[in-house]
Structure 1
Amino acid sequence: MTHHFPVRVYYEDTDMGGIVYHANYLRFIERARSDWVRSLGVDQNAMREMGLVYVVRRVEADFLAPAQFDDELEVQTEVAEVSSARLTLIQVVQKGGQDLFRARVTVVCMSLEGSRPQRLPAEIRALL
């Protein structure tokens, strides 16, 4: 299952050269992950009230081609691996079917204190 999330590049997303500033791709994929989790029916606020949060542990990123002001992009998110406490996603930012940015993102479930990883709730693992 691939989740699709549209993004338009605004002036504030660009650098002096008029292309998307590299760190903003991380913002784009974060928004897409949040939207994907919401589309699965997972209430992150309720999880936080239970003392659990998702934390990005690792990002491996490849910048393949630039995006520019006013481009219409799409972030595609797919599950690569699921373990008891870890979730690995592949996220690709595309423009017109061309890959511009690709990331492998590892997310872990943590206690609010951040002291150690926690098991993903069984109902969430089942959704994935």
Structure 2
Amino acid sequence: MISETIIGIRFDECGAHGIVHHSHYNHWLETAQFDLLKKHGTDYVSLLNEGYYFPMIRLGVDFVTPARLGDEVCVRLSIKELGRVKIVFAYEIVRTSDQRLIARATSEHVFLNREFKPADIKRAFPGLYEAFLAYVQD
């Protein structure tokens, strides 16, 4: 399964030539992650309130075609690897008007408790873990 998040390109995301600055792509990836959590009845604030953190430890982005002011993009999120402590998200960002690939990315996250020690997401949030299994792509 793939989760899709639609994002309209804003003026403040672009440089002088109307091309999205690379620093904004990570915001889009995080928005897609937050949308995935919402689709399954939780959000990042709830995880924080329960004493859990989900920090990114690695990010890789391959830029293919520039996104421009006025474009609308779709961030397609799947899960490349799902462990009990670590998760690797895979993304494709495409322009909605022509399905042109804008970028591919991966982000690796770990699940930590209040003491910043590794935590078991399957034990802490079994329903969310089970929901995530549907997004694992081979």
Question: Which TM-score applies when normalising by structure 1?
Answer: 0.91
The structure where strand makes up a greater share of residues is 1
Residue 32 of structure 1 is matched in structure 2 by 32
Unaligned runs of 5+ residues in structure 2 are 133-138
Deviation at 1:90, TM superposition (A): 0.5
Unaligned runs of 5+ residues in structure 1 are none
Residue 70 of structure 2 is matched in structure 1 by 70
The structure where helix makes up a greater share of residues is 2
Q: How far apart in 2 are the matches of 1:13 and 1:126?
A: 35
% identical equivalent positions: 20
Deviation at 1:125, TM superposition (A): 1.6
Question: Which TM-score applies when normalising by structure 2?
Answer: 0.85
Residue 105 of structure 1 is matched in structure 2 by 107
Kindly provide the CA deviation profile for residues 23-63 of structure 1, in whole angstroms up to 9, marking residues without a partner as x: 11111111111111111212432322221021111111101
Q: How far apart in 2 are the matches of 1:13 and 1:89?
A: 23
Deviation at 1:112, TM superposition (A): 3.6
Kindly provide the CA deviation profile for residues 84-114 of structure 1, in whole angstroms up to 9, marking residues without a partner as x: 101111111101211111111111111245x
Deviation at 1:6, TM superposition (A): 0.5
Residue 50 of structure 1 is matched in structure 2 by 50
Letter in 1 for 2:119: Q
Residue 129 of structure 2 is matched in structure 1 by 125
Q: How far apart in 1 are the matches of 2:44 and 2:92?
A: 23
Q: How far apart in 1 are the matches of 2:87 and 2:41?
A: 17
Say whether the 8 Å CA contact 2:34–2:43 is kept in structure 1.
no
Q: How far apart in 1 are the matches of 2:37 and 2:105?
A: 17
Q: How far apart in 2 are the matches of 1:36 and 1:13?
A: 23
Q: How far apart in 2 are the matches of 1:106 and 1:82?
A: 10
Q: How far apart in 2 are the matches of 1:39 and 1:94?
A: 21
Q: How far apart in 2 are the matches of 1:4 and 1:34?
A: 11
Q: CA RMSD in A?
A: 1.4
